[in-house]
Structure 1
Amino acid sequence: MTEITSSTAWQRYEDKELVAEGELPWGFLPVVHIQNIAQPYYYEGMSDVESLVPLQDELNTRLSDRASRITFQSFKMYLGKGIEGFEDRPISPGRMWCTNNPEAAIEEFGGDAATPSENMHIAEIREAMDKASGVTPVVAGVLKNKLGNLTSAVALRLTFMGMLSKNERRRFTYTEGLTKIAHMVLVILDKANIYKTSERDREVDIIFPSPLPENMMEKLKEAQIKKELGVPAEQVLRELGYDTANNGENSNQEVL
């Protein structure tokens, strides 16, 4: 089944035959395109992971090489010097050898030796992935070093600057898209006589909570300064999160 929808009409096809059609009463195409990451002059947005694919491939290759090396070199070998019958007695816990040769020795070789250059290369790849993605290990919950006391909003903002800027861009994009979706839904419900609304009622505000801790005393002091500077009280209360419309209705009811 295939359905074609435009801003004025719709058609449904089954086995390439038209089986139903009709007009769209609301006069617009009920589709909202939200770009993942906004890209100027392009309809499609940018992917979060496209830039990470080559880095992830390189990391997988290096980790695979390490796993193969450990598989073939994890066992240890021993070289016995000046010990008679050494080759007939395998190395095992509690095994003892006795010899009168003062130059006899057992040397261990093989195994997974330390490779600082490989470890550094893997660490650099992971660091590059963190920078490209904007998601630092701290944001993901991986704490490697001591961070200190990050209780203030300023300290957290500096620590999570990359993630916060990315979150702000995403918030703006999704706010625009969700606002359009809500407006379209209200228009459709209004024209279907399910939920009548006016154009003013369809103005929807999308509010995302701040990811940073907020100091209420600082917000109140800021609101007091704004009020002293002449900012309307309703706007100050609205910024603090109070519903001024309901408060006004309640006050009017009390007066009546």
Structure 2
Amino acid sequence: MKISCAYTTIAYASYLISSLDFQRWRLFGKRTLPEETIKHFLIQIGAAMDAMNRKGIMHRDLKPGNILLTHYGDTNKNILEIPGHLISFKLADFGFARFLQDGMMAVTMCGSPMYMAPEVLMNHKYDALADIWSMGIIVYQCLTGKAPFYANTPEALKNIYEKTPLLRPKIPATTTSLLKDLLLKMLVRAPPERIDFHGFLTHPFLQRGKFDPYCKSILMISALPSYHFIYISIYMY
């Protein structure tokens, strides 16, 4: 991916991206992904989320459509045919992002209902741990091809969360114990019991893997309250 230029006006931030490279981007399909690819995805996007969290920023709209993909090597191949260690994941669309000072909680309901943490959908105060839940939903979809908790309407999903304090997703028996453990810790209904960013980044599932040294996670932040364009590159290895 190449950023041609970036500029800020009084009203908004803009960026121009090479159309040739833009065509190489892909969204997640309905097919499942192997654990090695999921691991590589979590390490890259997790690093971007951690950088945001340390700056007091939460995304608030994490979903497959806001995670962009590109890869190295044979560009004629479908993204799902490329080995996980050759895929570069980009976190995008920060229209709902918000700065949270230490100890501060957000109250506005925003994002996509299927990926909203229970505390967000139930109109409770929430913090960056809501992003951890959203990531867990995405990982579950990558693993199984479907959402762990599903309802036809946001209100019906809200009712499920309200009436089921001990939520537990059904994880396929073929899932490794490490990924299963991480998912169960990410998809905990009560935020105080949910894994935090430190626990997430240091989890054993993310500690081993095959990675290409040229892959990097590029965090693109726009539409923040300050109306400034922020461009951050996080080099993985």
Please give the range of the TM-score, normalised by the shorter of the 2 chains.
Answer: under 0.3
Greater strand fraction, Structure 1 or Structure 2: 2
Superposition TM-score, scaled by structure 2 size: 0.24
Decide which structure has the larger Cα Rg and report it: 1
Greater helix fraction, Structure 1 or Structure 2: 1
Superposition TM-score, scaled by structure 1 size: 0.23
